[in-house]
Structure 1
Amino acid sequence: MLSMSDNNPLNSPPLLVALLTLAQKAQPPFAHWLLKQADRLRGGIIPLSDEQRKMIANLKVVFGDNMTEKQYKATALRCFYLRSQALYDFFHFVKDKQSLRDRIHLTDGAKAMINYLKNTNSGAVAVSPHFVGADIAGMELAQHIKNAQALSIPNPSRSYKNENMIRAAYGVRVTPASTRAMQTAMQTIRDGGLVAGSTDRANPEEEYTVPFFGKPARLPTVYIRLAIRLQVPVFHFTGVMSDDYQYTLDASEPFFAESYPNRQDETVNNLQKVLVHTENAIRKHPEQWCMFHPVWQNHINTTERENS
C-alpha cells in the first residue's frame, strides 16, 4: 500500500517491514506514530535507496551549493516520511472522504480556482508538481467539479493501476496517455470538466526541451497543447502536507496561452510561464517534492554517480 511504484524505495529490513505492515492496518493517530518510527529507523540505519539518490540528484540541479550533503539527505528522508503519511491517508480514508477533507485547507487561490470552474463551466486544465499531497489535492478538487480526468504515463505498472483505482474512487478518472486518451480529455474539457496532470515528470520522447531551473528538460507539453487547442485556462496547483497531518491546497490564477507564429515557440513559451509556478513551489517546499525519476538526464547521471 505504501509504495507508489514497483520499485520499493524503502530498502526494507524485517523490522521496517513489520512497522509498515502494522501501520497499514492501524487507525490514526497510532498509524501515524508507527510511520514516524519507521522513518526514524529508515533515516538511522538504512542506506539511501536508488529513488532517494535520484531525488537528491534532482534537488542538486535546483539548489546546487545552497544545501550541504547532510541537508540533501535530510530533505530526501523527510520527503519519503511525509509521502508515506500521505499515502496512508489516501488509501485509509477512501471510504471516509469527509474525515480526510476536514484536514484540507483551501487558500484564497484554491477557492478562487474552484469558484471559477463552478461559475464558468468552460472546462480547464490543471497541473501540479509531484508534491507529497498532490493526490489528496486532486481528490479535493474532484469533489467540487462534476468531471475530473487525469492523464498518466502510458503503460502503467500494476501498482500504478492499483493507485488509479483508488483515485477513481475519489472521483478522479485516470487515463494513461494515448491518442484515445487525448480525445477523451478534449471531450472532458468541452463538457466543462477538468483535465489534470503533472508538470515535472520528464519524458524522453517529448519533441521539445524547455528550460526548467535554467537547464533543458523534456517535460510534458500535452496540457499546454490542450489549452492552446481548446482555448481554456491553465491552473497550477499544489498539495502541501504539514507536520500535524494537515493539507493545504493552493492554486494560481488562471493562465491563458498566448499565440506565437510557430508551434515550437507557442508550446515552449507558454509552458515556461506555467513552470515558473512549479519552480517557485519547489524552492519554497523542497521537502514536498517527491520526484525520484531523473528530470534532467544529461545533468543527473554525473550527480547520481557522486551520490552512490
Structure 2
Amino acid sequence: MSGAGEVPDPPAAGARLRGRLTDGLYGLGWGALKKLPEPAVNALGRTIADRAWRRRGKSVLRLEANLARVVPDADPAGLAALSRAGMRSYMRYWMESFRLPTWSAERIRTGVEVREAHRLTEGLETGRGVVLALPHLANWDLAGAWVTTVLKVPFTTVAERLRPETLFDRFVAYRESLGMEVLPHVGGSAFGTLARRLRKGGLVCLVADRDLSASGVEVTFFGETARMPTGPAILAQQTGALLLPVTLHYDETPVLRARIHPPVEVPATGTRAEKAATMTQALADVFAGGIAEHPEDWHMLQRLWLADLEPRGEQP
C-alpha cells in the first residue's frame, strides 16, 4: 500500500489505469450508444466484431478452439466463418445491452419469443420456486428483461465480480434497472439468499455453463470433460424448487428466441453430491443441444474443458 506522496508501484499503477480506461469505455458505451439510431448501432457492432475477428487475438482464438469441439467436422474455412459469426453475435449482445435500459416494454415484448413459457409460469403458480439455468447463449440479459417486463416477475441472479469495482457497480446498476436483484459471486455467500428467495416461491436465474469457483462437478460436454457449477442442482434439492434449463438463440430478424425445456428432476436415490452430479450432467446435455443448434450464439471466449486447463494448472 502506498502512502501520501509515494510513487505507486508501476504494475499496480498500470492496472489501475487500465481499470479506469475500461470503466470509462463501458461508461461511454452505455451513454453514447443510447443516443444513436438503432441501425447505426447495429452497423457499428458488426464493424467492431469484424475488426476484432481479423486481429485474431486471444479471445477470438479461444472462441474458435471452443467451437471446434462443438462442430468437430468443420474445416478451417468453415470454422473461421463460424467464429466470425460468433464475434458478431457477441457484439450484438453488447450493443443490445448498452441500449436495453431505453427499450420500451413493447420493444422488449416484440423482441423476444419464448417457447414453452408455460413451464415457468405454471411452476411459479405452484409456489415452490423456480430456478432457470442457462448457458452463455445470445442475450441472457434481454431474456431476463422479458421476464421482469412481460411476465412482471422479479428474480434474483448472481454476477461475477469485475475489476475495477466501478465497472462491477455499473453492471449491477444496469441489471437492477431491468428489474433484477443482483448478488455478487463471492465465495458462495450468495447461496443462502438464493435459497431464501426460492423457499418463498421466488425465481432465480443463473448462467451455469462455466464454473467460477473451481468447486463444480465434472461433466461430459461435447465428448470431453468440463466442469460446471452445481449451484442450480443443489438449490433445487435443498429448496424443492423446479429446475428448468433454458436455451437462447438469435435469428435473422431482430428477435431473440428462447426455449424453456422440461424440468430436471431430483433423482430418487443417491447422496446429495451424486444427485447434484446427475442433475448437472442433465443440464449440460440440454445446454449442448442448444449450443449445437446455434453455435454462433455461444459466447464462450474463455477456457472451459479440463484438457485446456490442466496443462497450465488453471481453474475455470
Q: TM-score, normalised by structure 1?
A: 0.82
How far residue 145 of structure 1 moved from its aligned partner, in angstroms, is 5.0
Look up the match of 2:199: 190
Q: What SS class does the counterpart of residue 55 from structure 2 fall into? A: coil
Aligned-pair RMSD on alpha carbons? 2.9
How far residue 238 of structure 1 moved from its aligned partner, in angstroms, is 2.3
**Alpha carbons 2:217, 2:280 under 8 Å: kept:** no
Give the stretch that moved more between structures: 170-179 or 96-105: 96-105
Residues 1:149 and 2:156 aligned together = yes
Look up the match of 2:36: 26
How far residue 180 of structure 1 moved from its aligned partner, in angstroms, is 3.2
Residues 72 and 204 of structure 1: CA distance in aligned 2, closer, same or farther (over 3 Å): farther
How far residue 240 of structure 1 moved from its aligned partner, in angstroms, is 1.7
Which structure 2 segments of 5+ residues have no match? 1-18, 23-28, 312-316
Q: Distance in 1 between matches of 2:134 and 2:249?
A: 11
Give the number of the structure with larger relative contact order, counting CA–CA contacts within 8 Å between residues 6 or more apart: 1
Look up the match of 1:69: 76
How many residue pairs get matched? 284
Q: TM-score, normalised by structure 2?
A: 0.80
How far residue 42 of structure 1 moved from its aligned partner, in angstroms, is 4.3
Give the stretch that moved more between structures: 224-233 or 27-36: 27-36
Structure of higher CA gyration radius: 2
Q: What SS class does the counterpart of residue 94 from structure 1 fall into? A: helix
Look up the match of 1:237: 246
Q: What SS class does the counterpart of residue 132 from structure 1 fall into? A: coil
Which structure 1 segments of 5+ residues have no match? 1-5, 10-18, 303-308
Q: Distance in 2 between matches of 1:105 and 1:22?
A: 24
Counterpart code for 1:124 = V
**Alpha carbons 2:129, 2:240 under 8 Å: kept:** no
Match of 1:57 among 55, 59, 65: 65
Q: Deviations over 1:231-270 (max 9, x none)?
A: 2211111232223321112111222211332233211111
Q: Deviations over 1:173-211 (max 9, x none)?
A: 121234431111011111211111122113462153122
How far residue 149 of structure 1 moved from its aligned partner, in angstroms, is 0.7
Match of 1:131 among 108, 123, 137: 137
Q: Distance in 2 between matches of 1:210 and 1:42?
A: 31
- The percentage of counterpart residues that share the same residue type is 18
Structure 1 stretches of 4+ with a deviation exceeding 4 A read: 19-25, 40-43
Match of 1:176 among 181, 184, 187: 184
Q: What SS class does the counterpart of residue 180 from structure 1 fall into? A: coil
